Amino acid sequence: MDFTSSNLSIENEYPKLVRDRIPEILAAKGLTAQTRVLTNDEFLKYLLKKMVEESTELLHSLDEGNTEEEPADILELVGAILKLKGWKMQDIVEIQKEKRQQNGGFEKKILLLEKP
């Protein structure tokens, strides 16, 4: 599967969190990347910033037709956040179920038009 860049401005902001093999992939192309390892606090900040980037790319991809790779990126970020925080997916799913029971889900596609 070929992955393409969206070339959105948010995608080209540096410094940015990249997947583990990106420096290796760049080196194979003859490119040198300056990198450093983040502290846990910095890592969480950049994971959340990356989540915004990937969400923006998902929104853009609706027009471009390559939507499946963006949720995969978002899921990868969710997994990294869970691991960093020591949270279990099962616990998050339980919270999701409780919130859905209390407030509903998004099945009805309701858009609130103004603040009540």
What pLDDT does 63 receive? Answer: 83
Over residues 14-41, the pLDDT tens digits come to 999 999 999 999 999 999 999 999 999 9
Domain boundaries along the sequence of the chain: 9-103
Domain 9-103 has CATH 1.10.287: yes
- CA–CA separation, 23 and 25 (whole Å): 5
Average pLDDT on 70-90 reads 96
Q: What is the pTM of this model?
A: 0.84
What pLDDT does 72 receive? Answer: 93
- CA–CA separation, 33 and 23 (whole Å): 6
What pLDDT does 84 receive? Answer: 98
Over residues 35-52, the pLDDT tens digits come to 999 999 999 999 999 999
